[in-house]
Structure 1
């Protein structure tokens, strides 16, 4: 009797077989996959310097400080609000923001699957969503980089567009909602503007095809533009209300024009590296080209291809390839595009997925070996802990300010603002980096954190100043070595502090010897 009850439960519409045959199982598998492939990152506070900085700013916001006013950066406020929200979850924040990012990844992959099901079977759509999750680990999207968050809003806008294409007599509600989502995405990173223009023009094209009256078409366009600009306008109005509109405008819209982008000799090899990461996806497209050509007969597929082209244009026009995460906006529509090809070439798609799964884990372990993991960052923090003053992270983990409880030495706490040649311009920062570095060093920070070898594209002027001051007033107390770099902690010579230089190579101190 018990066996028959189990059998009926398994075959019932809501039983095990019903679950296996439903989209709920796909969602569960995507969630398990996302957690599994990102699990190695959860205990690593040293994961990404950008993410450490976003968490630092989010933490300072909860203490009443304002981005752009008290802490300088060029990112829109949305990314800092997300990290402030993660900080409210308790703990140190490093694990919490990664869990929030994982939820965004799962939701994005789920929408990729649902959109893929409109053009492919469950296998192709599910594998397209899985490839998105897996590829993030190859492109520094394993944590909380900005595209990990805003890609969810962009795919939400795409959902509205494709829904409107199926019901062209009902364009205004999905069009306005799509552009509002784009507006929210713009407050995470402004480079979404190109995809926003694409979605807006796509809706206007649909309206034109439906012979919408000119007066209504103009009103529709104005409404979409207004909603896309609404979140940014509200943020600007807030800063205007508190008397800091100038700081907001400079950081968000003007400072980028003073920032360097590196020479062609620097960027072109990096572009080649980023392009190589997409080659396996290109292999799927090539061997599944018959399915993709057949898919071209669908209007939504042709629109999807235009989205891919727009995303690629946005990546190229930004012209920064120092990190592969700059190309993550292209990953989203590209994976979605491949759903029919993945149906047609199931074994190939599955084989590439397994290879990328393993490669992604290897990449994560490699990054830990290079940047250092939990033990390395906590060792640096212990040796750098301030005793009544503050620390200065010239080149190293920006999360040390949180981990040590140190006040920030400047409105510019991100190390790259002082140690990178691209930032060596008052028009980029609103301050002369050499003068600000001098001001910080004149205040005698308790500890200075530097990295050897120095950044190859670094600011030579601030580096020379730092080495001169260190040689005069500081001594090394600890080296924390990773695979190809060494974090060096210097403390004031007059301060008694235990010294352990066992991990220090002689060449580390050559530039700072008096």
Structure 2
């Protein structure tokens, strides 16, 4: 009986309507992510995007007042929401949930185009889960936003052959690049695919036209982000921040390519098994495009020597489609036990259940669903009448937004950037290294209030000297005004 009930929920794949699929994915995304709508911050990057966006809303072009390493259209997404809805975490997180729904919907459309509606449907469901759970993915990350435009572009390349559609796809790819530059390698893979398919079809001239239209579309958003800086007479700010700084950061990374090799080994093993078992036809041009995109993204990981959990969001849509195709062949003659699928669907969102319990408990104890030190530290600063304008956050820097304050220097916009001294030349920082920046922040600006995290290094563990300097300086010139959750709030001693 339970098995029959569950199988009755499985849709008729051939009769699926796009509107209903999107609404279902949007509902699932909102349900999975809703408990995190009330969290102060989920990832440091998201907090930084909000600060950069607020600066833009206040009339400052990105990189002119505050600074971060990401391309400018990431900040535009947040700026539009803040401009319309004000300082609303609910609005930011709700639109983040819709972003996940759109990415998943185009995963469905792509899977349907590559193989079948059935593969597209299950891949899209998996996409909602993988883009919403496990680690910092409940926040709104640059990977989410870049895939919001990348996946529709991928679908258009698979679906259409007219040059006009290639131009539209190019515009979408250009927008995605201005949100996440590492996708350039995936875009190169797409260009090679377009050219290769045209040669195979003996239509080289048509392939050249397609590449011109695709490339023209890609360039258009890039140029559009440059024009405001050109009009303001500061084109070097765009060049330094959008192009030169990411290149310098990539070259300065101390991570080893060995960190990425386990992922590469797993993907290669998966590909070899699928090829040998003939579960996936890698001669299919559409499958080749997915493979080229995957290869481009993985190459970007290898180049940086890093692969964090949220980086993988750029792999999930394509990988889920290929995995779905492989499983459809591997399980062709086996009965699918749908209750197991239902059990996984219900049990996987453990983080959501825990967070839901947290916000209910927080409402009972403190009268608000909003929770986290990003809210409680500003409340403490106000209640204790500490200085809320002259403040330095080494942690929980979303507190600047809550307090209507601003980071005291460009380097301090994202606390981690203080130790990324290779980036200093690209935002015209007169200090030469992290210790000089810290001396400027603490001993020259002398902030009245400083916030750190209790029992944790101020910076990553490799920055021993910088951490020692901060702790020593706080010990000599500040007193601990209080502890709120995991946050320590220091106030400057009189005469210091």
Q: With structure 1 as the length reference, what TM-score do the two structures score?
A: 0.78
Q: Is the 8 A contact 1:384 1:448 kept in 2?
A: no
Aligned-pair CA distance for 1:220 = 4.2
Aligned to 2:234: 244
Match status 1:152 vs 2:148: yes
Q: Is the 8 A contact 1:89 1:96 kept in 2?
A: no
Shift in CA distance, 287/219, structure 1 to aligned 2, threshold 3 Å: closer
Residues 20-68 of structure 1: CA distance to partner in whole angstroms, max 9, x if unpaired?
A: 9532443332222111111221111221111011011111111111211
Q: Which residue of 2 aligns with 1:507?
A: none
C-alpha displacement of 1:428: 6.6
Distance between the aligned counterparts of 1:207 and 1:120, measured in 2?
Answer: 21
SS at match of 1:457: coil
Contact 1:417–1:429 (CA under 8 A) maintained in structure 2: no
Q: Are 1:463 and 2:467 an aligned pair?
A: yes
Greater Cα offset, 352-361 or 463-472: 352-361
Alpha-carbon distance between aligned partners in 2 of 1:324 and 1:177, rounded to the nearest angstrom: 30
Structure 2 counterparts to residues 444-483 of structure 1, below 5 A:
444-451=446-453, 452-454=455-457, 455-481=459-485
CA separation of 1:19 and 1:339: change in aligned 2, threshold 3 A = closer
Structural mapping, 1:345-360, within 5 Å = 345=331, 347=336, 351=340, 354-355=343-344, 358-360=347-349
Q: Which runs of 5+ in 1 are unaligned?
A: 1-16, 165-169, 496-513
CA distance in 2, matches of 1:368, 1:18: 36
1:47 counterpart (38, 42, 49): 42
Does 1:319 find its partner at 2:314? no
Tell me, what secondary structure is at the counterpart of 2:227? Answer: helix
Alpha-carbon separation, structure 1, partners of 2:122 and 2:63: 41
Q: 1:251 to 1:368 in 2, by over 3 A?
A: farther
Deviations along 1:271-312, one digit per CA (max 9) or x if unpaired, are: 75x789x89x9989969985733x446432233223322222
Give, in whole Å, the separation in 2 of the partners of 1:18 and 1:221: 38
Aligned 8 A contact 1:175 1:200 in 2: no
Distance 1:90 1:199 in 2: 37
Identify which range, 430-439 or 242-251, moves more after superposition.
430-439
- Given the alignment of the two structures, is residue 262 of structure 1 paired with residue 254 of structure 2, yes or no? yes
Structure 1 residues 261 and 358: CA distance shift in structure 2, 3 A: farther
**Residue 222 of structure 2: which of 197, 210, 232 is its match?**
232
TM-score normalised by L of structure 2: 0.81
Instruction: Tell me the residue number matched to 1:408.
Output: 407
Q: Is 1:382 aligned with 2:385?
A: no
- Assess if the C-alpha contact under 8 Å between 1:113 and 1:126 holds in 2: yes
- 1:173 corresponds to: 164
Summarize the Cα distance change of 1:263–1:30 in structure 2 as closer, same or farther, 3 Å threshold.
closer
Selected match of 2:157 from 154, 161, 173: 161
Quote the RMSD (CA, aligned, Å): 3.6
Taking a change above 3 Å as real, the CA distance of residues 70 and 334 of structure 1, as seen in their structure-2 partners, is same
Q: Identify the residue that residue 391 of structure 1 maps to in structure 2.
A: 391
- Secondary structure of the 1:144 match is coil
When structure 1 is superposed on structure 2, of 331-340 and 377-386 the one drifting more is: 377-386
Residue 279 of structure 2 corresponds to residue 292 of structure 1: yes
Specify the alignment match of 2:351 in structure 1. 362
1:488 and 2:485 equivalent? Answer: no
Contact 1:288 / 1:341 at 8 angstroms: preserved in 2?
no
CA separation in 2, counterparts of 1:237 and 1:73?
19
State how far apart, in whole Å, the 1-side matches of 2:376 and 2:396 are: 12
Deviation at 1:151, TM superposition (A): 0.9
Deviates more, 1:198-207 or 1:330-339: 198-207
1:125 matches 2:120:
yes
* Unaligned ranges ≥5, structure 2: 1-10, 363-369
Change (3 A) 1:63 1:213: same
Tell me the equivalent position of 1:193: 184
Task: Judge conservation of contact 2:391–2:447 (CA < 8 Å) in 1.
Answer: yes
What SS is found at the alignment partner of 2:482? strand
Pick from 32, 39, 56 the counterpart of residue 37 of structure 1: 32
What secondary structure sits across from 1:374 in the alignment? coil
Measured after TM superposition, the shift of residue 473 of structure 1 is 2.2
Note the 1:135-150 alignment, pairs <5 A: 135-136=130-131, 137-138=133-134, 140-150=136-146
CA distance in 1, matches of 2:201, 2:273: 35
